[in-house]
Amino acid sequence: MDWRDRGITLGARAFGEGSAIVTLLTREHGRHLGLVRGAKSKNMAPALQAGSEVDARWRARLGEHLGSYTLEGGRVHAHQVLSKPLELAALTSISALAEAALPEREPHPALFDGFHVFLEHLEDGDVWPSILVKWELGLLRELGFGLDLDACAVSGVNENLTHVSPRTGRAVSALEAEPYLDRLLELPGFMIRETNHVTKSEALAGLRLTGYFLERRIFAPHDRSLPEARQSLMERLGRSADETQRIG
């Protein structure tokens, strides 16, 4: 077995003295593990940081074997954010979520492409939060738990959609939501509009919405909770949103 693919490093676990078992999100082969020899070398270490984009070659005698990776052309994104707590938290959150939620060796090219777009915009603080929220929305959809945000579940209108039903995952218009506000989840406007510029508060509301469904539909059935890195992103984003409001 032998293939080549583009991959994004999700993480690496030390194996023996100099090797590592590396998890990549590949475009055509999904979340895929493999052994990397010489993982601690100066040349290889940057490519094994979460969020690094690599050209991967995977080889194994049989398809079901762990196999070994040869990684080339690493494009490292982590260095841009090592000193930025919020962006670093976002990078670790999306990596941990992909690692924890995606089944092994099941291709999800749309999620790979979305992750790539997220990395491309990681330095733009007004843009990456919305890409991250939409990526999580895509994660739900790819795993068969997509939210229906096109029209109001009650009236069928597709305007002024402001909330989501926690039971059905369908949008509800402001008018129909009015009597049930305490029971519905907030739907921030950027999630249904073609815009990527969002405030921290809107991004937080978006992550609360996707987090609610990720937790209940993907993690809870397996008796697991959302990755710690995602909780930490929520806390950090919450603090950042509060600071922005105070300054404003």
Is 232 near other proteins (CB under 8 A)? yes
Spatial separation of the C-alpha atoms in residues 122 and 53, rounded to whole Å: 13
Nearer to other proteins, 85 or 107 (CB): 85
Is 13 near other proteins (CB under 8 A)? yes
User: Checking DSSP bridges between strand 53-59 and strand 68-75, what pairing results, if any?
Assistant: antiparallel
- The residue whose two tokens read 């040869």 is 70
Is 92 near other proteins (CB under 8 A)? yes
Q: Which stretch binds other proteins (CB under 8 A): 105-113, 168-176, 209-217, 226-234?
A: 226-234
Query: Rounded to the nearest whole angstrom, what is the least distance from the CB of residue 188 to other proteins in the complex?
Result: 26
Is 83 near other proteins (CB under 8 A)? yes
Supply 198's token pair: 């969002």
Query: Which residues, other chains included, contact 115 with Cβ-Cβ below 8 Å and sequence gap of 6+?
Result: 8, 25, 94, 98, 135
Nearer to other proteins, 82 or 175 (CB): 82
What are the b/e assignments for 137-160, b being 16+ CB within 10 Å?
bbbbebbeeebebebbbeeeeeee
- The residue whose two tokens read 């994104």 is 77
Whether residue 36 contacts residue 7, with contact meaning beta carbons closer than 8 Å, is answered with no
- Give the binding-site size for other proteins (rule: CB under 8 A): 34
Which residues from 22-61 bind other proteins, rule CB under 8 A? 23, 42-43, 45-46, 49-51
Interface contacts to other proteins, rule CB under 8 A: 10-13, 17, 23, 42-43, 45-46, 49-51, 74-76, 78-80, 82-83, 85, 88-89, 91-92, 95-96, 99-100, 227-229, 232
